[in-house]
């Protein structure tokens, strides 16, 4: 059976009709659905480009196709594209029977009302929380409170209506957006960790200056790069020596580079941009002393789990499923510069024994997210949807 997977991610199509991604969801990601379904149609926004960048990855491939929606950005472009989006989605009514919504997102709601005839069963993979996405500081929209209210209600409704549902968290998202008691429900992360993604540090001694690393795309402010830079400016004034490498690019990168200059820390901060090769990311993590997740919203942050798998000491903001991953003393409230600064200053004084203990604890926790442990739960959810058709 063919399955449609509706996602908010934006992809690119070049002249020879090949599809590409600049940061996430390459072809390898979509093959997980082929364990149960014969082929996958990715329903997503697509922008036309002359040619892909050298660090982009192919999205489509054998038994993985893309259903092209207009590449709108923001509410006004969305409204201008709405009629075309609806036309494309209506056609799906006769072209496919099974559908999985990766939510939250407006496209899944539109798909439901335009292509889901006669209340057909659907599956949902809950990967984030709109209450965090549209929290104060995470979004600059003037109608942010209204959008937040609408998306929270929409996600609750979608979760209750799903015949099969999974969450990236074990308990956090389920509390706010419970499934239908009669539905098949499970939990699994989107992460795919193989044996070579894990590494045990036999020794752990901090360097001078302290080597910090953050990983996050710079296409939206919710990754908290500004929060991280402002915290580091305070630490510089307090005399803490550090360097930061920020892995991940986007249109906000130039703005963040300018902010680093204004704060007087530009010489200590390197913006690496996107790294398409997983080994390159592992190398960056292995060179660092401490990983920091400064996000204002997350589901279950994959980059944090990846850092933990490399046995890095990690600090993260209290968003999404972070409390399921880290001890309380390594978690700070979002946008709380003083608290993040205090934790980083304290870690700078940790002994090798303390660092190794945290390192080992993180590595052990990350082992729970090995791909072999998650595949069975994913396949069970997909199989249940197939059986309801």
Q: What is the pLDDT of residues 197-242, one digit of tens each?
A: 999 999 998 989 999 999 999 988 889 999 999 999 999 999 999 9
The verdict on 172 and 225 lying in the same domain is no
What pLDDT, on the 0 to 100 scale, is given for residue 366?
96
The verdict on 12 and 123 lying in the same domain is yes
- CA distances for 245 relative to 14, 48, 257, 272, 288, angstroms: 31, 31, 12, 7, 9
Query: The domain containing residue 99 runs over which residues?
Result: 2-191+370-388
The verdict on 382 and 345 lying in the same domain is no
The verdict on 156 and 211 lying in the same domain is no
The tally of domains found in the chain comes to 2
248-306 per-position pLDDT tens digit: 998 899 999 999 999 999 999 999 998 878 899 999 999 999 999 999 989 899 999 99
127-166 per-position pLDDT tens digit: 999 888 777 665 666 677 888 888 899 999 999 999 999 9
The verdict on 48 and 105 lying in the same domain is yes
The verdict on 150 and 238 lying in the same domain is no
The verdict on 52 and 172 lying in the same domain is yes
The verdict on 352 and 382 lying in the same domain is no
> Could you tell me the pLDDT band of residue 82, with boundaries at 50, 70 and 90?
very high
**Which range, of 61-65, 92-96, 181-185, averages the lowest pLDDT?**
92-96
Q: The CATH number of the domain where 324 resides is what?
A: 3.40.50.2000
- CA distances for 235 relative to 238, 269, 339, angstroms: 5, 13, 11
Q: Which residue has the higher pLDDT, 6 or 115?
A: 6
Query: Mean pLDDT throughout 88-116?
Result: 90
The verdict on 332 and 359 lying in the same domain is yes
What pLDDT, on the 0 to 100 scale, is given for residue 134?
74
The verdict on 375 and 336 lying in the same domain is no
- CA distances for 145 relative to 140, 152, 219, 303, 368, angstroms: 10, 11, 21, 28, 36
Inform me whether the pLDDT recorded for 196 exceeds 70: yes
Task: Say if residue 358 is exposed, middle or buried (CB neighbours under 10 Å; 0-12, 13-18, 19+).
Answer: buried
The verdict on 204 and 57 lying in the same domain is no
């Amino acid at each position: 059976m063919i399955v449609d997977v509706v996602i908010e991610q934006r992809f690119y199509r070049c002249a020879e009709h090949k599809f590409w991604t600049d940061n996430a969801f390459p072809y390898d990601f979509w093959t997980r659905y082929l364990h149960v379904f014969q082929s996958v149609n990715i329903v997503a926004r697509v922008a036309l480009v002359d040619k892909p960048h050298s660090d982009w990855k192919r999205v489509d491939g054998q038994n993985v196709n893309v259903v092209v929606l207009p590449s709108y950005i923001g509410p006004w472009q969305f409204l201008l594209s709405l009629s075309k989006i609806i036309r494309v989605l209506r056609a799906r009514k006769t072209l496919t029977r099974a559908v999985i919504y990766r939510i939250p997102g407006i496209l899944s709601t539109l798909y439901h009302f335009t292509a889901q005839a006669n209340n057909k069963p659907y599956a949902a993979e809950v990967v984030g929380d709109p209450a965090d996405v549209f929290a104060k500081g995470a979004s600059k929209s003037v109608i942010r409170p209204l959008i937040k209210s609408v998306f929270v209600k929409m996600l609750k409704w979608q979760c209750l209506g799903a015949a099969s549902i999974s969450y990236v968290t074990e308990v956090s998202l389920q509390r706010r957006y419970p499934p239908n008691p009669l539905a098949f429900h499970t939990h699994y992360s989107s992460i795919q960790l193989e044996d070579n993604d894990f590494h045990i540090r036999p020794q752990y001694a901090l360097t001078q200056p302290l080597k910090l690393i953050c990983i996050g795309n710079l296409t939206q402010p919710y990754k908290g790069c500004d929060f991280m830079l402002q915290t580091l400016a305070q630490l510089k004034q307090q005399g803490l020596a550090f360097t930061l490498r920020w892995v991940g690019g986007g249109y906000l990168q130039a703005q963040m580079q300018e902010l680093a200059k204004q704060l007087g820390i530009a010489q200590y901060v390197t913006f690496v941009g996107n790294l398409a090769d997983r080994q390159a990311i592992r190398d960056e993590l292995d060179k660092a002393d401490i990983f920091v997740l400064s996000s204002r919203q997350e589901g279950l942050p994959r980059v944090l789990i990846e850092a933990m798998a490399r046995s890095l000491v990690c600090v993260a903001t209290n968003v999404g499923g972070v409390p399921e991953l880290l001890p309380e003393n390594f978690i700070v409230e979002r946008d709380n510069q003083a608290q993040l600064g205090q934790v980083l200053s304290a870690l700078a004084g940790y002994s090798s024994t303390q660092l190794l203990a945290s390192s080992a604890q993180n590595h052990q926790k990350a082992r729970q997210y090995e791909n072999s442990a998650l595949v069975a739960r994913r396949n069970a959810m997909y199989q249940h949807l197939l059986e309801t058709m």
